Amino acid sequence: MSRAETSRRGSRPGRAGIRDVAAAAGVSITTVSDALNGKGRLPDATRRHVREVADRLGYRPSAAARTLRTGKSGLIGLTVTTYGDEPFTFTEFAYFAEMARAATSAALARGYALVILPATSRHDVWSNVALDGTVVIDPSDHDPVVSELVRQGLPVVSDGRPAGSLPVTAWVDNDHEAAVLGILDHLADAGARRIGLLTGTTTDTYTHLSTTAYLRWCERVGQDPVYEAYPAHDPCAGAVAADRLLARPDRPDAVYGLFDPNGTDLLAAARRYGLRVPEDLLLVCCSESTVYASTEPPVTTLSLKPRRIGTAVVHVLIDAIEGLHSDRPVEQVIPTELIVRTSSQRRSPRTTVSPPRSPESD
Amino acid sequence: MSRAETSRRGSRPGRAGIRDVAAAAGVSITTVSDALNGKGRLPDATRRHVREVADRLGYRPSAAARTLRTGKSGLIGLTVTTYGDEPFTFTEFAYFAEMARAATSAALARGYALVILPATSRHDVWSNVALDGTVVIDPSDHDPVVSELVRQGLPVVSDGRPAGSLPVTAWVDNDHEAAVLGILDHLADAGARRIGLLTGTTTDTYTHLSTTAYLRWCERVGQDPVYEAYPAHDPCAGAVAADRLLARPDRPDAVYGLFDPNGTDLLAAARRYGLRVPEDLLLVCCSESTVYASTEPPVTTLSLKPRRIGTAVVHVLIDAIEGLHSDRPVEQVIPTELIVRTSSQRRSPRTTVSPPRSPESD
DNA sequence: CGCGTTGACAGTCACGTTTCTGCATGATCA
DNA sequence: TGATCATGCAGAAACGTGACTGTCAACGCG
């Protein structure tokens, strides 16, 4: 069978193949491939001619064929832990959104795209998409998906220090212990005598590290721990837990909340009990949301710098994919930032208006 | 050259191909493919045997090869409008996060995965990933990316009524005019005499439709329009615009804010001017955030139901991809929901505590 | 003038699947 | 008993690209 006029079968109009370009330009397939990829040794005239013809035909190389041939898809998985059947957790919205945004930007700048893939998704979906590597957010102890990916030889970079002996390629995280200790010291400096904690019942690393840091701090300064834990994925449970914490007989005079909505929930609970913030109750919570800049009063927040983390994670991963032995460390610690506002400043009642914050740039 | 023992070349250990499975099971490649995909006519014994051998070898079919052969990648693009160089807009965080979450779930349930692809990304990234279709969020007037995709014959479904003559396959949107009119009537019922609007300077459909609906309502009831517009992607500009709106000589006694942060910004501005909410100022804003349930006072919000929209968009798109002539309409209007809280209820001062809201389920 | 070298391309294979076609074998039926 | 048919499987052709190998002419050099 002759191979001439191959364009008659297969491809519908609108999808020109490399053969069509070769025929139209009067050269061979090899020449087209080399001309478009800048590979071979061709005179610039041929190169320009081929490019021009390709543009005229609206030629787009088939991503599938290229992936099959080269073994690289240009796709990076973005895996998010799930509570329940939803792709990502409710309480991490702002964090996740910012982190994903930065990760997408960073990946894109290096020619990669991100695929959202919940860890609990059906196995066939995972194997149906060709990934060059994966970003895992807060992997659980012995995540089967991570093990499977690593077994396949794919680089896996984790946002959050991996628990147990999870064999990730690299990880990026904050120093959560240091952050909690810093906040507790900050509150103590502001005059707090008994600091309470609003924490979660889940077993992820963030919750675990933060809680143990709190307990160790209490032990060190000789304070009885005062904390309430609730399932962080339930938005209503947070309000209830905040209320419980302030209803205790040993009511704290300062509270740190580990999750984003804790600030508003604690403010509401304080109002119910007639507690003034910051006079009667000092408040800090971990959040990326800007609403805390304009609450009454503005609430001091701890930012985990999700944008820096997202960027770092992607860069480390792509370095691993491309086999670059970069100077980026395999274990990166991103500093947190405490944004001090009125709710944690008992000592300086003069200024109650928080300075305007410019749009974050990192 | 003999084709026996093909496994000696190519594939590194850890990646078993279909040939290896066929050899190990003592059957042909065809039989393996049919057995795993449930296609041919095979006795159950053979089917089970092949599956068992495949599992033992840890066989995973190559997504790239499958895509090349079948023409279906199982990937759906999720395109988000960009202001500046970031993948998605700052002001739509909660909306986008919820919408993306629902879309990811819905796609996953039907065996598809989502790829985040900003509209402004480099062309090579778009053509480097094999997509079966694309979801476009709030496409601009003559989006070149959408045209290109449609020209390639890919289904494109839009979140938001497409402006101009954008040739999308289908779209899903709220009835923004009806929503605005409903809110204005709601505020008027609560006793508002002069209703102001906090709107955006961008030209997207949402902003445009909402603003014109407001202007028409004003004309109908004979009220002079009182509004301030600001670039919605700038978080600081919103606070300034809220302040300006309440500083006007013709200060409104009720305000509707089109964007998520408007509620807290307006509350803060009201405090600065000594205005009580809802006694001196009625407040509604469009937001998906739960923080407005526990602000002081709780703020009435309009929910655009992003989860329903995300689900609907994905289902319509996948129907189009798979050529199903479903009974789902090509143009779907999702109803909005007005969550009435204290900030817009001047008439009933008895109950100032909003009822607890259960986690949304739709 | 003969020979190695280099430029400029063409031919062909392989990536790993899916699927169409087709060949045996045994069962069924006129 | 020969023709028909369903069954169970094997062979091989694509899918569209990238890369290796090979060919042919021109050219420089001793």
Q: What is d(CA A149, CA A155) in angstroms, rounded to the nearest whole number? A: 8
CA B83-B88-B89 angle, to 5 degrees, is: 55
| Beta-carbon contacts below 8 Å between A and B | 182
Q: Touching check for A58 and chain B: CB below 8 Å?
A: yes
Residue A148 CA, chain-centre distance (Å), reads 21
Q: Which residue of B has its CA nearest to A76?
A: B115
- Whether residue B7 is predicted with pLDDT greater than 50 in this model: the reply is no
Q: Which nucleotide is nearest to B9 (CA to C1')?
A: C14
Model confidence at B355, pLDDT cuts 50, 70, 90, reads: very low
What pLDDT, on a 0 to 100 scale, did the predictor assign at position B179? Answer: 97
Share above pLDDT 90 across residues of chain A, in percent, rounded to a whole number: 55
Nucleotides of C under 7 A from a protein CB: 7-12, 14-21
Segment 127-156 of chain B within 8 Å of chain A by CB = 127-130, 151-153
Please say if the pLDDT value at position A292 is more than 80. yes
**Looking at A12-21, A82-91, B335-344, which range is the least confident one?**
A82-91
Joined tokens for residue A150: 């690593």
- A12 and B115 within 8 Å at the Cβ level: the answer is no
Using a 10 angstrom Cβ sphere, with 0-12 exposed, 13-18 middle and 19 or more buried, the burial of residue A283 is: buried
Distances (CA, A) of B303 to A36, B95, B132, B246: 49, 9, 30, 24
Rounded Cα–Cα distance for residues B21 and B28 (Å): 9
First and final C-alpha spacing in chain B: 61
Q: How many beta carbons lie within 10 A of that of residue B121, not counting itself?
A: 22
How many helices, marked H, and strands, marked E, lie in chain B?
A: 12, 12
Strands, sheet with B195-200, edge to edge from the N-terminal-most edge strand: B226-230, B195-200, B254-257, B282-286, B300-303, B337-339
What's the pTM value of the predicted model, to 2 decimals?
Answer: 0.88
What does residue A104 show for φ and ψ, rounded to 5 degrees? -60, -45
Which of A44-53, B136-145, B260-269 has the highest mean predicted lDDT (pLDDT)?
B260-269
Q: Where residue B86 falls among pLDDT bands split at 50, 70, 90? A: low
**B252 pLDDT above the threshold of 80:** yes
Q: Which residue has the tokens 């039907």?
A: B110
Cα–Cα dist B162/B158, whole Å = 7
Task: Determine which of A82-96, A106-120, A146-160 has the lowest per-residue pLDDT on average.
Answer: A82-96
Contact B116, A100 (CB under 8 A): yes
Q: Give the span between the Cα atoms of A143 and A266, in whole angstroms.
A: 34
d(CA B227, CA B211): 9
Are A125 and B113 an interchain contact pair (Cβ–Cβ within 8 Å)?
A: yes
Helix (H) / strand (E) element for B256: namely strand B254-257
3-state DSSP assignment of residue B45: helix
**Cβ contact A296–B291 (<8 Å):** no
| Residue type at position B349 | P
pLDDT at B14 over 70: no
Condensed to tens digits (0 to 9), the pLDDT of residues A203-234 reads 788 899 999 999 999 999 999 999 999 988 77
Task: Supply the pLDDT for residue B253.
Answer: 96
Q: Which of A340-354, B159-173, B174-188 has the lowest mean pLDDT?
A: A340-354
- Asked whether residue A61 carries a pLDDT value surpassing 50, the answer given is yes
pLDDT band for position B82 (50/70/90)?
Answer: low
Q: Tokens for B122?
A: 């480099």
Per the DSSP assignment, residues forming a β-bridge with A159 are: A137, A172
Residues B190-240: tens digit of each pLDDT: 999 999 999 999 878 889 999 999 999 999 999 999 999 998 877 789 999
Tokens, residue A305: 């710098």
Specify the length of chain B in residues: 362
Nucleotide nearest to A62 (CA to C1'): D16
The answer to whether the Cβ–Cβ distance between A105 and B85 falls below 8 Å is yes
> pLDDT confidence of A308, banded at 50, 70, 90?
very high
Q: Using alpha carbons only, how large is chain A's radius of gyration in Å? A: 27
Tell me whether A83 touches chain B (CB under 8 Å).
Answer: no
Quick check: B321 contacting A, CB < 8 Å?
no
- Contacts of residue B291 in chain A, CB cutoff 8 Å? 261, 264, 289, 291
Q: Is A31 within 7 A of strand C by CB distance?
A: yes
Query: Which positions of chain D lie under 7 Å from any protein Cβ?
Result: 7-12, 14-21
What mean pLDDT value characterizes chain B? 86
Q: So what's the pLDDT on residue A11?
A: 43
Residue scoring higher pLDDT (A114 or B83): A114
pLDDT band at A88; cut points 50, 70, 90: low
The three-state DSSP-derived secondary structure of B173-240 is EECHHHHHHHHHHHHHHCCCCCEEEEEECCCCHHHHHHHHHHHHHHHHHCCCCEEEEECCCCHHHHHH
pLDDT at A280: 96
Contacts of B67 in chain A (CB under 8 A): 64, 67, 130
Distance CA A46, CA A229 (A): 69
What is the three-state SS of chain A? CCCCCHHHCCCCCCCCCHHHHHHHHCCCHHHHHHHHHCCCCCCHHHHHHHHHHHHHHCCCCCHHHHHHHHCCCCEEEEEECCCCCCCCCHHHHHHHHHHHHHHHHHHHHCCCEEEECCCCCCHHHHHHCCCCEEEEECCCCCCHHHHHHHHCCCCEEEECCCCCCCCCCEEEEECHHHHHHHHHHHHHHCCCCCEEEEEECCCCHHHHHHHHHHHHHHHHHCCCCEEEEECCCCHHHHHHHHHHHHHCCCCCCEEEECCCCHHHHHHHHHHHCCCCCCCCCEEEEECCCHHHHCCCCCCEEEECCHHHHHHHHHHHHHHHHCCCCCCCCCEEEECCEEECCHHHCCCCCCCCCCCCCCCCCC
Query: In this predicted model, what pLDDT tens digit does every residue of A123-172 receive, in sequence order?
Result: 778 888 999 999 998 887 777 888 888 888 899 999 998 877 778 999 99
Nearest to B64 among A130, A234, A290 (CB): A130
Residues of B in contact with A73 (CB under 8 A): 63-64, 129
pLDDT tier, A92 (very low <50, low <70, confident <90, very high otherwise): low
DSSP letter (8 states) at residue B324 = -
Does A353 score more than 60 pLDDT?
A: no
pLDDT at A189: 95
Of the pLDDT bands very low, low, confident and very high (cuts 50, 70, 90), residue A82 is: low
Asked if the model's pLDDT at residue B97 lies above 80, the reply is: yes
Q: How far apart are CA B282 and CA B213, in angstroms?
A: 19
Q: In angstroms, how far is D7 C1' from A301 CA? A: 71
Give me the residue label for tokens 């005062």. Answer: A226
Instruction: Answer whether residue A31 shows pLDDT above 60.
Output: yes
pLDDT on residue A287 = 95
Average of per-residue pLDDT across A178-186:
97
CA distance A156 to A132: 9
> Is A87 an 8 Å CB contact of chain B?
yes
Residue B98, classed as helix, strand or coil, is helix
**What 3-state class would DSSP assign to B26?**
coil
A61 touches chain B (CB under 8 A): yes
Assess whether B2 (CB) lies less than 7 A from strand C: no
**How far is the first Cα of chain A from the last one, in angstroms, to the nearest whole number?**
61
Q: What is the pLDDT of residue B129?
A: 93
pLDDT at B5 over 50: no
Ranked by mean pLDDT, the top range of A118-132, A179-193, B47-61, B100-114 is A179-193
Rounded to whole angstroms, how far apart are CA atoms B246 and B196? Answer: 9
Tokens of A146: 């991570």
